[in-house]
Amino acid sequence: MSHFGANGPFKEVAQDLKLASGIQVSAKDAERVSERVGGQIEKRDGIERRRLRFAEPATTHSHSDAPSSQDATKISGNNALEDEQSPRI
């Protein structure tokens, strides 16, 4: 009912609800339910916005966690720096 109430006049909400489900309510009841549920949604959304605004920023891994080029040479058994400095024959 509150979903219908968000989309149009409460008299039409009552008519749509009767057509969709066979449930008969007055326009005033449709208004009361829509207003109550809308208030609950606003309260919930406000709490969530405050939580997000004051939340700690997400931590990300820095590049220092990634293997360095020196780590790669240790794994392969080659020393790239020595290879670059060695004379080529």
pLDDT in tens, 14-41: 999 899 999 999 999 999 999 999 999 9
Question: Residue 68 has what pLDDT?
Answer: 59
- Asked whether residue 35 is assigned to any structural domain, the reply reads yes
Q: How confident is the model at residue 72 (pLDDT cuts 50, 70, 90)?
A: low
Does the pLDDT at position 83 exceed 70? no
- Asked whether residue 70 is assigned to any structural domain, the reply reads no
AA letter at 80: A
Does the pLDDT at position 73 exceed 80? no
Structural domain boundaries, residue 13? 2-53
Q: What are phi and psi of 61, to 5 degrees?
A: -75, 135
The verdict on pTM exceeding 0.75 is no
Cβ(10)–Cβ(31) under 8 Å?
A: yes
Q: What is the residue-averaged pLDDT of the chain?
A: 76
What is the pLDDT averaged over residues 11-16?
Answer: 90
Question: Residue 56 has what pLDDT?
Answer: 81
| N-to-C CA span, the chain | 85
Q: How many domains does the chain have?
A: 1
- Asked whether residue 21 is assigned to any structural domain, the reply reads yes
